[in-house]
Amino acid sequence: MPVTVLVVDDSGFFRRRVCELLSTDPRLKPIGTASNGREAIEQALTLKPDVITMDYEMPVMDGIEAVREIMQRQPTPVLMFSSLTHEGARITLNALEAGAVDYLPKNFEDISRHADKLARVLCDKVLTVARSQRGVLRGQPNASALRPPESRQRHAPAEPSPKPVPGGLRDRIQQRRQETQARQTHEPRPPVKPAARPKSNPRHFSLVAIGTSTGGPMALQSLLTQLPAHFPAPIVLIQHMPATFTGAFAERLNSLCKIEVREARDGDALRPGLALLAPGGKQMMVEKRGSGCVKILDGDERLNYKPSVDVTFGSAARVYPGKVLGVVLTGMGADGREGARMLKDSGSLIWAQDEASSVIYGMPMAVAKAGLTDEIINLADIPAKLISDVT
Interval 233-246: pLDDT, tens = 999 999 999 999 99
Angle (CA) 317-360-305 rounded to 5° is 45
* Mean predicted confidence (pLDDT) in 88-114: 83
For residue 108, the model assigns a pLDDT of 57
pLDDT band, very low/low/confident/very high, at 110 (cuts 50, 70, 90): low
pLDDT band, very low/low/confident/very high, at 106 (cuts 50, 70, 90): confident
pLDDT band, very low/low/confident/very high, at 133 (cuts 50, 70, 90): low
Q: Is 335 a catalytic residue?
A: yes
Write the single-letter amino acid at 68: R
* Mean predicted confidence (pLDDT) in 133-154: 39
For residue 252, the model assigns a pLDDT of 97
Lowest-pLDDT choice from 37-41, 91-95, 179-183, 212-216: 179-183
Give one word for 290, left, alpha or beta, with left for phi > 0 and alpha for psi -120 to 50: left
Cα distance between residue 144 and residue 331, in whole Å: 25
DSSP letter for 204, please.
-
Judge whether residue 83 has pLDDT over 90: no
**Contact between residue 47 and residue 76 where contact means Cβ atoms under 8 Å apart:** no
Write the single-letter amino acid at 52: I
Q: Within its chain, how far is the Cα of 157 from the centroid?
A: 21
Judge whether residue 157 has pLDDT over 80: no
Q: Count the neighbouring beta carbons within 10 Å of the beta carbon of residue 311.
A: 31
pLDDT band, very low/low/confident/very high, at 198 (cuts 50, 70, 90): low
Rounded mean pLDDT of the chain? Answer: 86
Cα distance between residue 391 and residue 352, in whole Å: 20
Specify the long-range contacts of residues 183-186, CB closer than 8 Å, at least 24 apart: none
Judge whether residue 143 has pLDDT over 50: no
Q: Is 230 a catalytic residue?
A: no
Q: Is 345 a catalytic residue?
A: no
Tell me the β-bridge partners of 237: 210, 277
Range with top average pLDDT, 75-84, 147-156, 194-203:
75-84
For residue 118, the model assigns a pLDDT of 83
Annotated active-site residue in 50, 55, 222, 240? 240
Q: Count the neighbouring beta carbons within 10 Å of the beta carbon of residue 368.
A: 26
Judge whether residue 189 has pLDDT over 50: no
Annotated active-site residue in 9, 55, 102, 335? 335
In the chain, the N- to C-terminal Cα span, in Å, equals 52
* Mean predicted confidence (pLDDT) in 273-298: 94
For residue 176, the model assigns a pLDDT of 56
Annotated active-site residue in 82, 132, 206, 213? 213
For residue 197, the model assigns a pLDDT of 58
For residue 136, the model assigns a pLDDT of 41
**Contact between residue 307 and residue 238 where contact means Cβ atoms under 8 Å apart:** yes
For residue 145, the model assigns a pLDDT of 34
* Percentage with pLDDT > 70 across the chain: 81
Residues 6+ positions from 238 with CB-CB distance below 8 Å: 209, 210, 211, 212, 278, 284, 307, 308, 309, 312, 313, 336
Determine the 3-state secondary structure of 384 from DSSP. helix
**Contact between residue 285 and residue 163 where contact means Cβ atoms under 8 Å apart:** no
Angle (CA) 80-84-89 rounded to 5° is 65
For residue 87, the model assigns a pLDDT of 87
DSSP letter for 283, please.
E
**Contact between residue 201 and residue 381 where contact means Cβ atoms under 8 Å apart:** no
* Mean predicted confidence (pLDDT) in 312-339: 97
Lowest-pLDDT choice from 5-9, 64-68, 289-293, 364-368: 289-293
Cα distance between residue 359 and residue 135, in whole Å: 4
**Domains in the chain: ranges and CATH:** 3-137 (3.40.50.2300), 167-389 (3.40.50.180)
314-324 confidence digits (pLDDT tens): 999 999 999 99
